[in-house]
Amino acid sequence: MAEEIFLSVRDGFVRVAHIIGGQLADVQISPADTKSDDASNFVGRIYLAQVERVVPRLQAAFVNIGEDRAGFLGAREARVLLPDAPRDAAIEDCVSEGDTILVQVTRPPVNDKGAQVTADVTLPGRALVIAPCRSHIALSRAIEDPEARKRLEQDIVDIQAGKHGDVEEVEGMDGPAGWVVRTVAADMDVSELKLDMELIGNRWNQLLDKAQNQEPPSLLYSDLGPIERALRDSVRGDTQKIVVEGDAAFTVASSYCREAMPGALEALEKSDKNEFLFDRYDIESKIEAALSPRVELPSGGWLMIETTEAMTTVDVNSGSQNGTPLDVNLEAAAVIGQQIQLRGIGGLVAIDFIDMSEGSANEKVVEVLSAGFGQDRFPVRIGTMSDFGVIEMTRRRPAISLREAMGR
């Protein structure tokens, strides 16, 4: 299926649209100023931090990261600091007041709450993620082909062993660093994997060198800028076109592609029009449609998508649809995955489907719903359908939703 990426820098914001098969699949909007404390820039930062307080009753510690409010480190996120820690290791066994540790922001500060952080730091690349606190190779569950999984794992082992040329050794917290293989790696050859490993490994080694010469609290690493980040996370092997608006943005995109993904240079082109790129490709109207709670289904039914602080609910309605309840639900399930990803919805989601009499039909709906998240960048867990026709699912929250990015 044809994939296209449109990137515009205008009015102090970077806008990135990801089009798959002619449909708007994803929108990312973030400040062009990478030094701002916007949520999209905050998440992923790595700090040399100092533990200020350990609170056993909360099973958490508060760590000084040099920001206005202390970071919140839960016991679950601290257990990587304790070798061979049991799954229920208490926070007081993992850290003590005054400890100096590396932490990474997973959730930005909200109102009077500080950032949520983890000691399980990672550095993402295009195909690989370095996991210094782990020692094994893990593959994305979206890579389902057993032969592909076997090949990728062997490629990583061979690259580390120097069978494809010298690679600088990357040390983790306790021996060689672990690696996570992202879904996009399935379409890459060993030379592309090796390039990605070298780039991430160099960044990690530079971070460690910086940490040795700093005192806590200190910011050691910020994620890539919004243009490079969008290219890293969106470009795949079948991306046919990357259109960039503006000379400065095109220069940044070209430089990143040359360094990290030379094969994408052929797809890269600069917009030669003066008008707003998103208007020319009718992307702006598609974004506006994605902000509406009502989503029309092709056959006449519709969805109602509403988000509160606690959760998101999706209600499936048949409307003038003349098909069976299964037909409506299957159509809705295919659209729901697209809408959740496009809107940047995370956390708990409850989907109320139309009641069906056949139990086997429930499994078909779950299967179609799951398939819609096959290329999702964020982990997703989908439950079974209840007796009341409701499916509960969770999706890791993006740094910022589409509605938040648009100030709605």
7 burial (CB, 10 Å; 0-12 / 13-18 / 19+) is: buried
pLDDT at position 37 over 70: no
Instruction: Please give the C-alpha separations between residue 262 and each of 35, 40, 120, 202, 303, in angstroms, as whole numbers.
Output: 27, 26, 31, 18, 41
**What is the pLDDT confidence band of residue 272, given thresholds at 50, 70 and 90?**
confident
- As a whole number, mean pLDDT of residues 83-92 equals 88
DSSP classification of residue 110: B
CA distance 298 to 292: 16
* Domain coordinates in residue numbering, the chain: 1-28+224-286, 44-121, 125-209, 291-405
**What is the pLDDT confidence band of residue 39, given thresholds at 50, 70 and 90?**
low
* pLDDT top residue among 124 and 11: 124
Q: How do strand 239-245 and strand 268-270 relate by DSSP bridges?
A: parallel
Close Cβ partners of 282 (under 8 Å, ≥ 6 residues apart): none
The number of helix segments (H) and strand segments (E) in the chain equals 12, 23
- Give the pair of three-digit tokens for residue 132: 């210094």
Which string of DSSP letters, residue by residue, matches 136-183? Answer: SEEE-TT---HHHHHHHHHHHHHHHTTBTB-----EETTEEPEEEE-G
Close Cβ partners of 373 (under 8 Å, ≥ 6 residues apart): 337, 340, 341, 380, 382, 395
Phi-psi region of 340 (alpha: psi -120 to 50; beta: other; left: phi over 0): alpha
The rounded mean pLDDT for the chain is 88
Reference 8, options 247, 258, 229; nearest CA is 247
CA atoms within 13 A on the CB side of 329: 22
For domain 1-28+224-286, give the CATH number. 3.30.420.60
CA distance 352 to 327: 15
Question: CB 44: neighbour CB atoms within 10 A?
Answer: 19
pLDDT at position 42 over 70: yes
What whole-number percentage of the chain has pLDDT above 90?
53
Reference 327, options 287, 298, 293, 295; nearest CA is 298
- As a whole number, mean pLDDT of residues 114-122 equals 94
Q: What confidence tens digit (pLDDT) does each residue in 174-222 have?
A: 677 889 999 889 989 999 999 999 999 999 999 999 999 999 999 999 9
Comparing 124-128, 182-186, 252-256, 279-283, the range with the smallest average pLDDT is 279-283
**What is the pLDDT confidence band of residue 86, given thresholds at 50, 70 and 90?**
confident
Give the right CATH number for 291-405 from 3.40.630, 1.10.472, 3.30.420, 3.30.70.
3.40.630
Give the fold, CATH level 3, of 44-121: OB fold (Dihydrolipoamide Acetyltransferase, E2P) (2.40.50)
369 burial (CB, 10 Å; 0-12 / 13-18 / 19+) is: buried
Q: Which uninterrupted H or E stretch holds 395?
A: strand 390-395
**What is the pLDDT confidence band of residue 173, given thresholds at 50, 70 and 90?**
low
> What sign results for the dihedral spanned by CA atoms 340, 231, 139, 3?
positive
**What is the pLDDT confidence band of residue 172, given thresholds at 50, 70 and 90?**
low
